[in-house]
Amino acid sequence: MFSMTESTQRNTGTFGVKRGLAEMLKGGVIMDVVTAEQARIAEDAGACAVMALERVPADIRKDGGVARMSDPEMIESIQKVVSIPVMAKARIGHFVEAQILEALGVDFIDESEVLTPADEAHHIDKYRFSVPFVCGATNLGEALRRISEGAAMIRSKGEAGTGNVVEAVRHLRSILGDIRKITQADSAELFQWAKNLQAPLPLVQELAETGRFPVPIFCAGGLATPADAALAMQLGAEAVFVGSGIFKSDEPARRAKAIVEATTHFRDPHILAKVSRGLGAPMTGIGMDEIAVKYAERGW
Amino acid sequence: MGTARVGVLALQGAFAAHAEVLSRLGADVREVRVPADLDKVGALVMPGGESTTMSQLLESSGLFDALGDRLVHGFPVFGTCAGMILLARSVIGGRPDQRSFGAIDISVERNAYGRQVDSFEAELDVAGLNDPFPAVFIRAPRICDLGPAVETLALHEGSPVLVRQGAIIAASFHPELTGDGRLHALFLESL
């Protein structure tokens, strides 16, 4: 007869539980929402999480001015209506916004270049928090610097609010391509890699040794169609963020559901063809030569 | 049982981590996304992730009925976290349209341990294992009721967290995240 000793231990805020939530979001779609109603539509469509914010990046781009953390009341109204994880954005380096978001019980904080940076030299020391952080990156060096500060997930920055996937593709290819090269490098070359990437040597060595990035890598910034989501997944992203692409389109609910299907069945062109049909107009989108501010250049 | 062909439900969630542990143990692992994938496997792991998302994708892919038919006939499944929710008889705190298979006689409450800041790690004593098992609970569901046919294999703070009924094993935590393959081995040995 087995006599059971019952555990009463609870170690919270560990890197294991932070990275663990990132693992749970894999293969899913995280959708930007600005109202409780949109949050409901996103959950109904199969989003694995929502990002609560006051304006989607396309509107932040249009309105200009300083973009800050959302009003706690707005975030709470979204937490009330959905059962999936709720994420929210803090400005780069604004650790007090992050403290407030943690106090609100937000499930993941995005230290985001879409908001106006609060510090031009320092990112948030993410080890000081129990809540996990996701950070954007344009290349492997940036991604590893964010890991060294405690990020539990990395996403490509792409170029948010443009409906144009080209920058997200560039960033993903850069990050994943360099990971592939590092896994082939010999030990002497790793010093040069760390120097060129301006990344901590131990992280570069760990990458070479294990052959894998220490946290999940998701794609964000300009995805607007089911095909865009499947492209990101086939390139090697492990999940996708869709911001303006859903609620700036003609039929958000249908498009949201189609993007969820495309992210799961990303290798099956027949399913992709089926779910891409009759979704109404996507967001208009803008070319990179038409934009005044590149958000991807924010952060260091 | 080194060459069991095991499927991992790969609609959404931590399926890659499960596949890795199973492969390391020598299983022949296949990702399952559509009903035809189920024909190629003799057992299935249902991973953690968002049960609301998975429930919808099960429906749209046709897997809900295909898997439901097999479960009635004793198809072996190991469900963790969201996977356990999908296997349960009843779900508290789910969406009204959320379906579960009713393959194991337990009632579960979603997100019963709180939000992400309350997610935790703990060492568990597990029936049949000599040393404690490192468990990761992420926005975990709690088993609040279980029928007489369900055997409890581990407890945490008075609640069953690892249970078995027939060919079904269900855990409210994530054995795939710690690199400890003993529970996956237990499942493979049962096949």
Q: How far apart are CA B103 and CA A17, in angstroms?
A: 28
| 3-state helix/strand/coil string of A242-298 | ECHHHHCCCCHHHHHHHHHHHHHCCCCHHHHHHHHCCCCCCCCCCCHHHCCCCHHHC
Asked if residue A10 is part of any domain, the answer here is no
CB-based contact (8 Å) between A192 and chain B? Answer: no
Report the number of secondary-structure helices (H) and strands (E) in chain A. Answer: 13, 9
| CATH code, A95 | 3.20.20.70
In chain B, % of residues over pLDDT 70: 98
Question: What is the rounded average pLDDT of the residues B77-104?
Answer: 92
Which positions in chain A touch B116 (Cβ < 8 Å)?
Answer: 17, 21, 85, 105-108, 131-132
ipTM of the complex: 0.96
If you ran DSSP here, which 8-state letter would residue A157 be given?
-
CB B133, CB B173: distance < 8 Å:
no
Cβ of A21 and B56 within 8 Å?
no
Cα angle at A32 between A26 and A38, to 5 degrees? 115
Please check the confidence at residue B1 and state whether its pLDDT lies above 50.
Answer: no
A227 Cα to chain B: minimum distance (Å): 17
**Residue A290 belongs to a domain:** no
Neighbouring CB atoms inside 10 A of A197's CB total: 20
Residues 126-155 of A with CB under 8 A from B: 130-132
Q: What is the structure's pLDDT at B37?
A: 97
Domain housing A186: 17-282
- Can A248 be counted among the known catalytic residues? no
Give pTM, 2 decimals.
Answer: 0.96
Query: Two tokens at B152?
Result: 């409890």
Q: Taking a C-beta distance cutoff of 8 angstroms, is the pair A77, A36 a contact? A: yes
Q: Give me A47's structure tokens.
A: 């989003």
The whole-number pLDDT of residue B90 equals: 94
What is the fold of B5-189?
Rossmann fold (3.40.50)
Residue A4 pLDDT? 65
Query: How much is the pLDDT for B159?
Result: 94
Which segments within A126-239 are labelled E, that is strand? 133-137, 153-156, 217-218
Report the run of H or E that residue B41 belongs to, with start and end: none
Residue of B85, B116, B133, B159 for testing the chain A interface, max A β-carbons within 10 Å? B116
**Closest-CA distance of chain A to residue B62, Å:** 13
β-strands A108-112, A133-137: how paired?
parallel
User: From B92, which residue of chain A is nearest by alpha-carbon distance?
Assistant: A83
Tokens of A31: 């959708």
Judge whether residue B172 has pLDDT over 70. yes
Does residue A296 sit within a domain? no
Q: What is the pLDDT of residue A134?
A: 98
Residue tagged active-site, from A26, A62, A80, A89: A89
CB of B57 within 8 Å of a chain A CB? The answer is: yes
For residue A112, is it within any domain? yes
Nearest residue in B to A81, CA atom: B95
Residue A193 confidence (pLDDT): 98
Q: CA-CA distance, A47 to A254, in Å (whole number)?
A: 12
Q: Are A214 and A179 in contact (CB under 8 A)?
A: no
pLDDT less than 50: residues of chain A = 1
Q: Residue A207: inside a domain, yes or no? A: yes
Let me know if B81 is a catalytic residue: yes
- How many whole angstroms separate alpha carbon A3 and alpha carbon B47? 29
Domain annotation covers residue A205: yes
Q: Using one digit for the tens of pLDDT, what is the confidence trace for B2-51? A: 467 999 999 999 999 999 999 999 999 999 999 999 999 999 999 999 99
Structure confidence by residue, pLDDT tens digits, A101-159: 999 999 999 999 999 999 999 999 999 999 999 999 999 999 999 999 999 999 999 99
Number of structural domains, chain A?
1
How close is the nearest chain A Cα to the Cα of B17, in Å?
Answer: 8
pLDDT tens for each residue of A199-216: 999 999 999 999 999 999
Q: Radius of gyration (Cα) for chain B, nearest Å?
A: 15
* Structure tokens belonging to residue A192: 């040069």
Position A50 in a domain: yes
Q: Where are the domains of chain B?
A: 5-189
Q: For residue B63, what are its two tokens?
A: 């897997």
Smallest Cα distance from A60 to chain B, Å: 28
Other CB atoms within a 10 A radius of the CB of residue A80 amount to 10
